[in-house]
């Protein structure tokens, strides 16, 4: 049974990043399709604009011809034949109408595709969530067995990057009965005191320079209070009334786009707004709004340090739940007090 538990744990270590990778690839594909639709729509708009300008030029030329013909007639001279200009105007009108019809067809097809894509995205989100739940439940059962049987795995399967797969890393750990401090027992057994004097010194808490003042990356494991949010069903009481699918989108966007932009860009909000415009994103499903939701004003996740070394949640229970669901390690939060 111990061997079986060992194999199962390696499977979990392999599958967790694969689920995340699949979710990332799906999001990238969705963005690529959105960019393609935006490009085709822009080309259709440009074609209509071009045809309208051509019609205006033809109308002006016809007007000039007719004015010259009228002046010649007043002088008793034979006027110019404007038939060619009239045919040009008619041709330009027909081309403009075709361009407008083509643009309308593209817009209708794009709307139908977005509707189908939205249904597909929602279904994929449900499937990924179910997969994550199954993995979590199986991992918890295996971990429970390992603890009960005092089994300590000797190897862990780590995921690789890209398509290169994973590799094995040996981690024998300390000898049985000997703690990591090398003297036996736990740190508390040897006179260790309570929580650090400052929340900044707590294990796992990070305060990189690119975060706004007063914010930190706090380990989710240091947040003990779940606020009663233990499943998606508990989101019905969300006072902000944000749909779960929108919050899930924001959590993924935070990890994949917003935080990397904050690390690499001098003005991340400007960059995110430009990217929203390029990808046709707006409202709750936009990178700029995600940035404001996590780092702006009263909407930010807010935590208060407790004397026992953990953090109490002042705001953000729902997002914290979704970050845990997505196997995130940290949450960006505004620290209150301490």
Give the separation between CA 93 and CA 323, rounded to whole angstroms. 56
Q: Which of 331, 327, 328 is nearest to 314 (CA)?
A: 331
Task: Show the tokens assigned to 260.
Answer: 């990397």
Q: What is the DSSP letter of 153?
A: -
Question: Which tens digits make up the pLDDT trace of 158-185?
Answer: 333 333 333 333 333 333 332 333 333 3
Start-to-end Cα distance in the chain: 47
Helix, strand or coil for residue 154? coil
pLDDT band per the 50, 70, 90 thresholds, residue 32: confident
Asked if residues 258 and 287 have their Cβ atoms less than 8 Å apart, the reply is yes
Phi, psi (rounded to 5 degrees) for 315? -155, 140
Instruction: Please tell me which of 12-16, 251-255, 326-330 the model is most confident about, judged by mean pLDDT.
Output: 251-255
pLDDT of residue 20: 74
Is the pTM for the entire model greater than 0.85?
A: no
Instruction: For the chain, give the longest Cα–Cα distance.
Output: 119
Each domain of the chain, given as residue ranges in start order, spans 2-153, 159-192, 197-335
Residue 136's nearest CA partner among 324, 329, 330 is 324
Question: Exposed, middle or buried, 330 (CB in 10 Å: 0-12/13-18/19+)?
Answer: middle
| Nearest residue to 102 (alpha-carbon basis) of 43, 53, 54, 37 | 43
Mean pLDDT (the chain, rounded): 76
Give residue for tokens 């007043």: 74
At residue 121 the predicted structure's pLDDT band, cuts being 50, 70 and 90, is confident
**pLDDT in the model for residue 261:** 93
What does the alpha-carbon distance between residue 273 and residue 266 come to, in Å, rounded to a whole number?
14
């Amino acid at each position: 049974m111990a061997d079986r538990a060992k194999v199962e744990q390696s499977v979990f270590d392999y599958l967790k990043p694969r689920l995340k990778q699949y979710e990332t690839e799906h999001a990238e594909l969705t963005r690529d399709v959105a960019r393609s639709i935006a490009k085709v729509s822009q080309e259709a708009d440009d074609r209509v604009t071009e045809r309208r300008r051509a019609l205006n030029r033809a109308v002006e030329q016809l007007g000039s011809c007719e004015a010259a013909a009228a002046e010649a007639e007043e002088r008793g001279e034979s006027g110019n034949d404007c038939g060619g200009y009239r045919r040009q105007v008619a041709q330009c009108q027909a081309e403009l109408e075709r361009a407008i019809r083509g643009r309308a067809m593209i817009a209708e097809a794009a709307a139908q595709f977005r509707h189908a894509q939205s249904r597909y995205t929602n279904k994929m989100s449900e499937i990924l969530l179910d997969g994550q739940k199954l993995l979590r439940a199986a991992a918890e059962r295996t971990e429970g067995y390992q603890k009960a049987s005092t089994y300590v795995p000797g190897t862990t399967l780590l995921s690789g990057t890209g398509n290169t797969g994973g590799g094995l890393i040996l981690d024998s750990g300390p000898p049985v009965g000997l703690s990591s401090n090398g003297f036996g027992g736990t740190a508390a057994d040897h006179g260790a005191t309570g929580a650090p004097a400052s929340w900044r010194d707590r294990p796992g808490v990070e305060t990189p320079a690119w975060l706004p003042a007063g914010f930190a990356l706090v380990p989710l494991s240091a947040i003990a209070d779940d606020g009663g949010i233990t499943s998606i069903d508990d989101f019905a009481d969300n006072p902000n009334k944000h749909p779960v699918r929108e919050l899930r989108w924001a959590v993924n966007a935070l990890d994949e786009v917003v935080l990397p932009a904050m690390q690499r860009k001098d003005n991340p909000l400007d960059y995110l707004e430009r990217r929203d415009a390029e990808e046709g994103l707006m409202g709750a499903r936009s990178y700029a709004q995600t940035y404001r939701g996590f780092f702006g004003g009263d909407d930010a996740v807010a935590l208060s340090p407790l004397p026992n070394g953990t953090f109490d949640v002042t705001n953000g229970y729902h997002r914290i739940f979704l970050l845990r669901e997505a196997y995130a390690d940290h949450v960006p939060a505004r620290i209150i007090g301490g």
